[in-house]
A = this chain, B = another copy of it.
Amino acid sequence: MPVYSANVSERAQQPPELAISTVIFALRPDPEAGGPTLWLPLVRRTRQPFRDLWALPGGPLRPDEALQDAAARNLQETTGLQPSYLEQLYAFGGLDRSPVQRVVSIVYWALVKPDEAALARETENVRWVRADDLGQLAFDHNHIVEYALWRLRNKVEYSSIAYAFLGSTFTLAQVREVYEAVLGRQLDPANFRRQLRATPDIEPTDEYLQGGRHRPPRLYRYTGGAAQLSGSPPA
């Protein structure tokens, strides 16, 4: 339990600063791996502390915007991306997160579709890295990404967020690639197919994906609306 004393540093007496950050996941074709892999955009810090280290996109919360709006905004500002899924991850508020000032960060996580991810701009201060190969990040951001990954892996198994990574139509093999990239293991194509066909909110179209080297697979469409779970707390 914290002890209040007269010679606590002055910093500790000011109200904590409130900031919003976002972990943004996208699936990108990866030549090295077999299929696509998980990537996320980072921004270079241009000020102390942790100057020149890479960090999650984020910024202060404006007085007149809702938490999720703030996440969507700094996501848009730093990467130009529109997320297909956006959910609160956690509020991080440890005393030693920043060496200069107490900061409470409310962190969101987002998924973007491949067409969005393709036109994401990389600049001197914005870089995309593989989720399993970040370097050392600023603050506790390595820890935060770790947790976001854990949440993503869990949620992909019991909800329908996988489709947030895909376009309006897709093959069942593409869905399987999403699961394999997120979970990091191979899945049996036959059984995976059956499970998807058993869910009501994925329906076949009359079209087939042409141009492959082999038998053209049928295209499907997701009809389940936004992936947000019913337990989510809006407002």
Any B CB within 8 A of the CB of A104: yes
1/0 per residue, CB under 8 A from B, across A139-177: the answer is 010011001001100100000000000000000000000
Residue pair B1, A73 in contact (C-beta under 8 Å):
yes
Contact of A65 with B2 at beta-carbon distance under 8 Å, contacts A18-B16, A91-B91 already known: yes
Cα A63 to Cα B63 in complex, Å, equals 20
Residue pair A63, B13 in contact (C-beta under 8 Å):
yes
Any B CB within 8 A of the CB of A90: yes
Residue pair B12, A63 in contact (C-beta under 8 Å):
yes
- Min CB distance A107 to B, Å, is 9
Contacts of A62 in B (CB 8 A): 2
Any B CB within 8 A of the CB of A200: no
A76: nearest chain-B partner, CB-CB: B1
How many copies of this chain? 2
Any B CB within 8 A of the CB of A203: no
Any B CB within 8 A of the CB of A225: no
Any B CB within 8 A of the CB of A233: yes
Residue pair B61, A16 in contact (C-beta under 8 Å):
yes
Residue pair A150, B67 in contact (C-beta under 8 Å):
no
Cα A94 to Cα B3 in complex, Å, equals 32
The tally of residues in A whose CB lies under 8 Å from a CB in B reads 40
**A interface residues (Cβ-Cβ under 8 A, vs B):** 1-2, 4, 8, 11-16, 18, 61-67, 69, 73, 88, 90-95, 102, 104, 106, 140, 143-144, 147, 150-151, 154, 231, 233, 235
Listed by A's residue number, 21 A-B pairs whose Cβ atoms lie within 8 Å are A1-B73, A2-B64, A2-B65, A2-B66, A2-B69, A15-B18, A15-B63, A16-B18, A16-B61, A16-B63, A63-B102, A64-B95, A67-B91, A67-B93, A88-B91, A94-B235, A104-B106, A143-B235, A144-B233, A147-B233, A151-B231
For the complex with contacts A13-B64, A16-B61, A104-B106, 15 further pairs of A-B residues with Cβ separation under 8 Å are A1-B65, A2-B64, A8-B64, A11-B63, A13-B63, A16-B63, A18-B18, A61-B104, A66-B93, A67-B91, A67-B104, A90-B233, A93-B106, A106-B106, A143-B233
